[in-house]
Protein backbone atom coordinates (compact mmCIF):
# COMPACT_ATOMS: atom_id res chain seq x y z
CA UNK A 1 0.00 0.00 0.00
CA UNK A 2 2.86 2.37 0.88
CA UNK A 3 4.50 1.65 -2.47
CA UNK A 4 1.25 2.48 -4.26
CA UNK A 5 0.88 5.76 -2.36
CA UNK A 6 4.50 6.66 -3.02
CA UNK A 7 4.04 5.92 -6.71
CA UNK A 8 0.93 8.14 -6.83
CA UNK A 9 2.73 10.95 -5.00
CA UNK A 10 5.71 10.79 -7.33
CA UNK A 11 3.38 10.84 -10.32
CA UNK A 12 1.59 13.92 -8.98
CA UNK A 13 4.84 15.68 -8.17
CA UNK A 14 6.24 15.01 -11.64
CA UNK A 15 3.11 16.58 -13.09
CA UNK A 16 3.32 19.64 -10.86
CA UNK A 17 7.02 20.26 -11.28
CA UNK A 18 8.65 23.57 -10.53
CA UNK A 19 8.24 26.81 -12.43
CA UNK A 20 11.43 26.94 -14.42
CA UNK A 21 13.70 29.98 -14.46
CA UNK A 22 12.80 30.38 -18.13
CA UNK A 23 9.39 31.70 -17.02
CA UNK A 24 11.17 34.62 -15.37
CA UNK A 25 12.96 35.38 -18.61
CA UNK A 26 9.76 36.10 -20.46
CA UNK A 27 9.12 39.80 -20.76
CA UNK A 28 6.11 41.95 -21.54
CA UNK A 29 3.68 40.13 -23.79
CA UNK A 30 5.72 36.95 -24.05
CA UNK A 31 3.20 34.33 -25.17
CA UNK A 32 3.59 30.67 -24.19
CA UNK A 33 5.74 31.37 -21.12
CA UNK A 34 4.02 28.60 -19.18
CA UNK A 35 5.01 25.11 -20.31
CA UNK A 36 2.29 22.86 -18.88
CA UNK A 37 4.12 19.72 -19.91
CA UNK A 38 7.37 20.47 -18.14
CA UNK A 39 6.44 22.82 -15.33
CA UNK A 40 2.87 21.91 -14.45
CA UNK A 41 1.61 25.51 -14.64
CA UNK A 42 -2.13 26.11 -14.57
CA UNK A 43 -3.97 29.11 -16.01
CA UNK A 44 -3.48 32.10 -13.72
CA UNK A 45 -6.15 32.20 -10.97
CA UNK A 46 -8.20 35.37 -10.73
CA UNK A 47 -6.83 36.77 -7.47
CA UNK A 48 -5.28 40.23 -7.98
CA UNK A 49 -3.20 41.39 -5.02
CA UNK A 50 -1.62 44.76 -4.33
CA UNK A 51 1.92 44.17 -3.08
CA UNK A 52 3.06 47.74 -2.64
CA UNK A 53 1.54 51.23 -2.70
CA UNK A 54 4.17 53.45 -1.03
CA UNK A 55 7.82 52.98 -1.98
CA UNK A 56 7.38 50.52 -4.83
CA UNK A 57 8.92 50.97 -8.25
CA UNK A 58 7.20 51.53 -11.57
CA UNK A 59 8.54 50.39 -14.94
CA UNK A 60 9.71 47.18 -13.29
CA UNK A 61 11.84 44.39 -14.76
CA UNK A 62 12.04 40.80 -13.42
CA UNK A 63 15.38 39.21 -12.60
CA UNK A 64 16.62 36.54 -14.97
CA UNK A 65 18.51 34.69 -12.23
CA UNK A 66 16.48 35.21 -9.03
CA UNK A 67 12.74 34.60 -9.02
CA UNK A 68 12.20 36.85 -5.97
CA UNK A 69 14.04 39.89 -7.30
CA UNK A 70 12.75 42.85 -9.30
CA UNK A 71 14.44 46.08 -10.29
CA UNK A 72 12.90 49.36 -11.37
CA UNK A 73 12.48 53.08 -10.86
CA UNK A 74 10.18 54.54 -8.21
CA UNK A 75 9.20 57.67 -10.12
CA UNK A 76 10.40 60.13 -12.69
CA UNK A 77 13.51 62.09 -11.81
CA UNK A 78 16.71 61.49 -9.91
CA UNK A 79 17.57 58.89 -7.29
CA UNK A 80 14.88 56.39 -8.16
CA UNK A 81 16.71 53.07 -8.60
CA UNK A 82 14.97 50.50 -6.39
CA UNK A 83 15.30 46.76 -5.85
CA UNK A 84 12.96 44.21 -4.30
CA UNK A 85 14.29 40.87 -3.10
CA UNK A 86 10.98 39.55 -1.74
CA UNK A 87 8.89 39.38 -4.91
CA UNK A 88 7.80 43.01 -4.89
CA UNK A 89 6.40 43.26 -1.36
CA UNK A 90 9.06 45.72 -0.15
CA UNK A 91 11.51 47.91 -2.05
CA UNK A 92 14.82 49.48 -1.05
CA UNK A 93 16.83 52.18 -2.79
CA UNK A 94 19.94 51.00 -4.61
CA UNK A 95 23.06 51.54 -2.50
CA UNK A 96 24.25 54.04 -5.09
CA UNK A 97 22.19 55.82 -7.71
CA UNK A 98 23.40 55.59 -11.33
CA UNK A 99 22.42 59.19 -12.08
CA UNK A 100 22.70 62.39 -10.05
CA UNK A 101 20.83 64.49 -12.58
CA UNK A 102 18.32 63.25 -15.06
CA UNK A 103 14.98 62.92 -16.71
CA UNK A 104 13.42 59.46 -16.78
CA UNK A 105 15.42 56.37 -15.91
CA UNK A 106 14.88 52.78 -17.02
CA UNK A 107 16.21 49.59 -15.47
CA UNK A 108 16.55 45.90 -16.27
CA UNK A 109 18.53 42.95 -14.97
CA UNK A 110 20.62 41.06 -17.51
CA UNK A 111 21.08 37.29 -17.70
CA UNK A 112 24.33 37.44 -15.70
CA UNK A 113 22.68 39.34 -12.83
CA UNK A 114 24.09 42.75 -13.70
CA UNK A 115 21.72 45.73 -13.57
CA UNK A 116 21.45 48.08 -16.54
CA UNK A 117 20.29 51.68 -16.17
CA UNK A 118 19.44 54.04 -19.03
CA UNK A 119 18.92 57.76 -18.55
CA UNK A 120 19.58 61.28 -19.74
CA UNK A 121 21.52 62.90 -16.90
CA UNK A 122 21.64 66.33 -18.53
CA UNK A 123 18.23 66.29 -20.19
CA UNK A 124 17.16 64.67 -23.47
CA UNK A 125 20.38 65.69 -25.25
CA UNK A 126 22.72 63.00 -23.87
CA UNK A 127 21.93 59.30 -23.67
CA UNK A 128 23.84 57.44 -20.94
CA UNK A 129 23.80 53.72 -20.15
CA UNK A 130 25.35 52.56 -16.86
CA UNK A 131 25.91 49.07 -15.49
CA UNK A 132 26.28 47.55 -12.02
CA UNK A 133 27.60 44.04 -11.37
CA UNK A 134 26.96 44.18 -7.60
CA UNK A 135 23.22 44.98 -7.38
CA UNK A 136 23.55 48.74 -7.43
CA UNK A 137 26.50 49.25 -5.10
CA UNK A 138 28.81 50.50 -7.85
CA UNK A 139 28.07 51.75 -11.36
CA UNK A 140 30.18 52.20 -14.48
CA UNK A 141 29.29 54.12 -17.63
CA UNK A 142 29.26 51.76 -20.62
CA UNK A 143 27.72 53.98 -23.31
CA UNK A 144 27.04 57.65 -24.06
CA UNK A 145 25.63 59.34 -27.12
CA UNK A 146 24.23 62.72 -27.99
CA UNK A 147 20.43 62.66 -28.32
CA UNK A 148 18.07 59.82 -29.15
CA UNK A 149 17.58 58.40 -25.65
CA UNK A 150 14.89 59.61 -23.25
CA UNK A 151 12.72 62.59 -22.52
CA UNK A 152 10.96 63.35 -19.27
CA UNK A 153 7.65 64.10 -21.00
CA UNK A 154 7.36 60.90 -23.00
CA UNK A 155 5.74 57.68 -21.84
CA UNK A 156 6.70 54.06 -22.02
CA UNK A 157 10.25 53.67 -23.30
CA UNK A 158 11.43 50.17 -22.52
CA UNK A 159 14.65 48.40 -21.60
CA UNK A 160 14.60 44.63 -22.16
CA UNK A 161 17.15 41.89 -21.46
CA UNK A 162 16.90 38.24 -22.53
CA UNK A 163 18.34 34.96 -21.29
CA UNK A 164 20.86 34.76 -24.15
CA UNK A 165 22.64 37.94 -23.05
CA UNK A 166 20.93 40.31 -25.46
CA UNK A 167 19.55 43.62 -24.23
CA UNK A 168 17.72 46.33 -26.15
CA UNK A 169 16.56 49.78 -25.18
CA UNK A 170 13.71 51.21 -27.24
CA UNK A 171 13.53 54.93 -26.71
CA UNK A 172 13.47 58.41 -28.14
CA UNK A 173 14.09 62.03 -27.48
CA UNK A 174 11.41 64.50 -28.51
CA UNK A 175 11.79 63.83 -32.24
CA UNK A 176 13.76 60.65 -32.93
CA UNK A 177 13.06 57.02 -32.11
CA UNK A 178 16.18 54.90 -31.80
CA UNK A 179 17.30 51.40 -30.84
CA UNK A 180 20.27 50.69 -28.57
CA UNK A 181 21.43 47.08 -28.32
CA UNK A 182 23.92 44.89 -26.49
CA UNK A 183 24.84 41.25 -27.04
CA UNK A 184 26.90 40.75 -23.86
CA UNK A 185 24.58 41.44 -20.90
CA UNK A 186 24.89 45.20 -21.27
CA UNK A 187 28.67 45.44 -21.08
CA UNK A 188 28.93 46.99 -24.55
CA UNK A 189 26.31 48.83 -26.60
CA UNK A 190 25.81 50.06 -30.14
CA UNK A 191 23.27 52.54 -31.46
CA UNK A 192 20.98 50.96 -34.00
CA UNK A 193 18.66 52.43 -36.58
CA UNK A 194 16.59 55.54 -35.93
CA UNK A 195 13.68 57.30 -37.57
CA UNK A 196 12.16 60.74 -37.27
CA UNK A 197 8.84 60.32 -35.48
CA UNK A 198 7.26 63.71 -36.21
CA UNK A 199 7.64 64.78 -32.56
CA UNK A 200 5.47 61.85 -31.47
CA UNK A 201 6.76 60.26 -28.28
CA UNK A 202 6.84 56.51 -27.75
CA UNK A 203 3.90 55.37 -25.66
CA UNK A 204 5.31 51.94 -24.87
CA UNK A 205 7.04 49.03 -26.47
CA UNK A 206 7.27 45.26 -26.44
CA UNK A 207 9.96 42.89 -27.69
CA UNK A 208 10.64 39.21 -27.04
CA UNK A 209 13.81 38.83 -29.05
CA UNK A 210 12.13 38.02 -32.34
CA UNK A 211 9.07 40.26 -32.75
CA UNK A 212 7.92 43.49 -31.18
CA UNK A 213 6.30 46.87 -31.67
CA UNK A 214 6.46 50.41 -30.33
CA UNK A 215 3.91 53.00 -31.47
CA UNK A 216 3.68 56.72 -30.93
CA UNK A 217 2.02 58.25 -27.91
CA UNK A 218 -0.40 60.43 -29.85
CA UNK A 219 -1.65 59.28 -33.27
CA UNK A 220 -1.93 62.12 -35.73
CA UNK A 221 0.57 64.42 -33.99
CA UNK A 222 2.72 66.29 -36.44
CA UNK A 223 0.97 64.67 -39.37
CA UNK A 224 0.99 61.11 -38.08
CA UNK A 225 2.34 58.93 -35.36
CA UNK A 226 4.73 56.10 -35.99
CA UNK A 227 4.61 52.37 -35.34
CA UNK A 228 7.74 50.30 -35.81
CA UNK A 229 7.85 46.53 -35.89
CA UNK A 230 10.78 44.22 -35.37
CA UNK A 231 11.14 41.52 -38.03
CA UNK A 232 13.32 38.51 -37.19
CA UNK A 233 14.06 37.91 -40.85
CA UNK A 234 15.36 41.43 -41.51
CA UNK A 235 18.89 41.12 -40.08
CA UNK A 236 18.05 42.33 -36.59
CA UNK A 237 16.59 45.65 -37.63
CA UNK A 238 13.39 47.54 -36.90
CA UNK A 239 11.27 48.91 -39.72
CA UNK A 240 8.47 51.44 -39.78
CA UNK A 241 5.26 49.56 -40.36
CA UNK A 242 2.47 52.11 -39.91
CA UNK A 243 1.67 55.80 -39.77
CA UNK A 244 -1.46 56.38 -37.71
CA UNK A 245 -3.99 58.79 -39.17
CA UNK A 246 -5.29 60.12 -35.87
CA UNK A 247 -8.66 58.34 -35.87
CA UNK A 248 -7.56 55.39 -33.75
CA UNK A 249 -7.42 57.38 -30.53
CA UNK A 250 -4.65 57.01 -27.98
CA UNK A 251 -2.74 53.77 -28.62
CA UNK A 252 -1.29 52.89 -25.23
CA UNK A 253 -1.14 49.10 -24.94
CA UNK A 254 1.56 47.09 -26.70
CA UNK A 255 1.43 43.31 -26.58
CA UNK A 256 2.63 40.21 -28.37
CA UNK A 257 -0.69 38.46 -28.64
CA UNK A 258 -0.54 34.86 -29.85
CA UNK A 259 3.02 35.53 -31.11
CA UNK A 260 1.92 38.58 -33.14
CA UNK A 261 2.66 42.24 -32.23
CA UNK A 262 -0.52 44.18 -31.53
CA UNK A 263 -1.47 47.68 -30.37
CA UNK A 264 -4.46 48.51 -28.16
CA UNK A 265 -6.09 51.88 -28.86
CA UNK A 266 -8.78 54.00 -27.25
CA UNK A 267 -11.37 54.76 -29.88
CA UNK A 268 -12.09 58.47 -29.69
CA UNK A 269 -15.73 59.33 -29.14
CA UNK A 270 -16.92 55.74 -28.71
CA UNK A 271 -19.33 54.54 -26.03
CA UNK A 272 -18.04 53.86 -22.49
CA UNK A 273 -18.07 50.08 -22.90
CA UNK A 274 -16.73 49.82 -26.44
CA UNK A 275 -14.10 52.44 -27.03
CA UNK A 276 -11.07 50.17 -27.41
CA UNK A 277 -9.70 48.46 -30.49
CA UNK A 278 -6.80 46.11 -31.08
CA UNK A 279 -4.78 46.84 -34.21
CA UNK A 280 -2.07 45.13 -36.20
CA UNK A 281 1.38 46.51 -36.98
CA UNK A 282 0.15 48.42 -40.03
CA UNK A 283 -2.65 50.12 -38.11
CA UNK A 284 -5.60 48.06 -39.34
CA UNK A 285 -8.40 47.42 -36.86
CA UNK A 286 -8.35 43.72 -35.96
CA UNK A 287 -11.10 43.71 -33.35
CA UNK A 288 -13.15 46.03 -31.15
CA UNK A 289 -12.84 45.39 -27.42
CA UNK A 290 -15.65 45.79 -24.91
CA UNK A 291 -14.18 46.49 -21.48
CA UNK A 292 -16.92 47.03 -18.87
CA UNK A 293 -16.51 49.88 -16.39
CA UNK A 294 -13.36 51.14 -18.12
CA UNK A 295 -12.40 54.78 -17.64
CA UNK A 296 -13.44 57.75 -19.69
CA UNK A 297 -11.13 58.45 -22.63
CA UNK A 298 -8.38 60.80 -21.51
CA UNK A 299 -4.72 61.09 -20.66
CA UNK A 300 -5.01 58.81 -17.63
CA UNK A 301 -7.41 56.28 -19.10
CA UNK A 302 -4.71 54.37 -20.91
CA UNK A 303 -3.14 51.32 -19.33
CA UNK A 304 -0.84 48.34 -19.69
CA UNK A 305 -1.47 44.83 -20.98
CA UNK A 306 0.15 41.41 -21.02
CA UNK A 307 -0.67 38.19 -22.88
CA UNK A 308 0.90 35.21 -21.07
CA UNK A 309 -1.18 32.43 -22.63
CA UNK A 310 -2.79 31.76 -25.99
CA UNK A 311 -6.07 33.65 -26.52
CA UNK A 312 -5.65 35.34 -23.11
CA UNK A 313 -5.17 39.03 -22.38
CA UNK A 314 -4.86 40.88 -19.07
CA UNK A 315 -5.42 44.64 -19.05
CA UNK A 316 -4.72 47.13 -16.27
CA UNK A 317 -6.38 50.50 -16.89
CA UNK A 318 -8.29 53.29 -15.21
CA UNK A 319 -11.87 52.54 -14.20
CA UNK A 320 -14.79 54.89 -14.76
CA UNK A 321 -14.39 55.98 -11.13
CA UNK A 322 -10.74 56.90 -11.68
CA UNK A 323 -9.27 53.92 -9.84
CA UNK A 324 -6.97 51.18 -11.11
CA UNK A 325 -8.86 48.26 -12.61
CA UNK A 326 -7.81 44.85 -13.90
CA UNK A 327 -9.60 42.83 -16.57
CA UNK A 328 -9.03 39.53 -18.33
CA UNK A 329 -10.25 37.89 -21.53
CA UNK A 330 -9.78 34.15 -21.94
CA UNK A 331 -11.84 33.70 -25.09
CA UNK A 332 -9.81 35.41 -27.76
CA UNK A 333 -10.79 38.98 -26.80
CA UNK A 334 -14.49 38.27 -27.12
CA UNK A 335 -15.39 38.93 -23.47
CA UNK A 336 -13.58 40.88 -20.75
CA UNK A 337 -14.29 40.31 -17.06
CA UNK A 338 -13.29 42.86 -14.46
CA UNK A 339 -11.23 41.19 -11.74
CA UNK A 340 -10.71 43.99 -9.26
CA UNK A 341 -10.63 47.71 -8.61
CA UNK A 342 -8.00 49.35 -6.41
CA UNK A 343 -8.24 52.84 -4.94
CA UNK A 344 -5.51 55.05 -6.31
CA UNK A 345 -2.99 54.10 -8.96
CA UNK A 346 -5.05 55.15 -11.96
CA UNK A 347 -3.22 58.36 -12.79
CA UNK A 348 -0.06 57.95 -14.82
CA UNK A 349 -0.74 54.32 -15.61
CA UNK A 350 0.82 54.61 -19.06
CA UNK A 351 4.17 55.14 -17.39
CA UNK A 352 4.03 51.64 -15.90
CA UNK A 353 4.23 48.17 -17.37
CA UNK A 354 3.00 44.60 -17.02
CA UNK A 355 4.89 41.34 -17.42
CA UNK A 356 4.64 37.58 -16.79
CA UNK A 357 7.12 35.87 -14.46
CA UNK A 358 7.10 32.98 -11.98
CA UNK A 359 3.61 31.93 -13.08
CA UNK A 360 2.10 35.34 -12.24
CA UNK A 361 1.10 38.51 -14.02
CA UNK A 362 2.73 41.55 -12.40
CA UNK A 363 1.74 45.15 -13.00
CA UNK A 364 3.54 48.36 -12.03
CA UNK A 365 1.73 51.63 -12.59
CA UNK A 366 1.08 55.13 -11.63
CA UNK A 367 2.18 58.59 -10.69
CA UNK A 368 1.06 57.26 -7.31
CA UNK A 369 3.19 54.10 -7.46
CA UNK A 370 1.44 50.76 -7.19
CA UNK A 371 2.85 47.29 -7.75
CA UNK A 372 0.71 44.16 -7.72
CA UNK A 373 0.25 40.69 -9.08
CA UNK A 374 -2.39 38.26 -10.31
CA UNK A 375 -1.64 34.68 -9.38
CA nearest 197: which of 218, 220, 216? 216
| Distance (Å, whole) CA 305 – CA 345 | 15
Write down the domain spans for the chain.
Answer: 20-374
CA nearest 218: which of 279, 173, 265, 288? 265
The pLDDT of 349-374, averaged and rounded, is: 81
Instruction: Tell me the average pLDDT of the chain.
Output: 73
- Topology at the third CATH level for domain 20-374: Methylamine Dehydrogenase; Chain H (2.130.10)
Contacts of 249 (CB under 8 A, 6+ apart): 219, 265, 266, 267, 268, 270, 275, 277, 297
More confident residue, 330 or 275: 330
Residue 183 has pLDDT above 70, yes or no: yes
Q: Give the count of beta carbons closer than 10 Å to the beta carbon of residue 83.
A: 20
pLDDT bucket at 154, cuts 50 / 70 / 90: low
| Distance (Å, whole) CA 341 – CA 320 | 10
Q: In Å, what is the CA distance from 33 to each residue of 188, 211, 303?
A: 28, 15, 22
CA nearest 119: which of 136, 92, 97, 138? 97
Q: What is the pLDDT of residue 196?
A: 52
Residue 199 phi, psi (nearest 5) = 60, 25
More confident residue, 31 or 201: 201
pLDDT bucket at 13, cuts 50 / 70 / 90: very low
Are 327 and 277 a contacting pair, CB within 8 Å?
Answer: no
Q: What is the pLDDT of residue 324?
A: 82
Q: What is the pLDDT of residue 170?
A: 81
* pLDDT tens by residue, 36-94: 333 444 555 567 888 888 788 878 899 988 989 999 886 555 558 999 999 999 999 99
Amino acid sequence: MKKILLSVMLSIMSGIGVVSSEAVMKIIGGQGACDTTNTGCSPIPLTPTTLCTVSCAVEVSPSLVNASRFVGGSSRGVGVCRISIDGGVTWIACAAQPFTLGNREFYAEAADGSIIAVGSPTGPTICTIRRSTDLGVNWSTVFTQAGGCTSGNLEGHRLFCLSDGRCEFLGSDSSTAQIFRSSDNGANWIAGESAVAANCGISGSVWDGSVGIFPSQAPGCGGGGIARTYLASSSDTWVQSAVWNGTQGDCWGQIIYNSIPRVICQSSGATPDGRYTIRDSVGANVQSLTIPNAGIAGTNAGGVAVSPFANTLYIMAQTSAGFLGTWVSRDGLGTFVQLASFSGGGAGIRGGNAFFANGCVYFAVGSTPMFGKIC
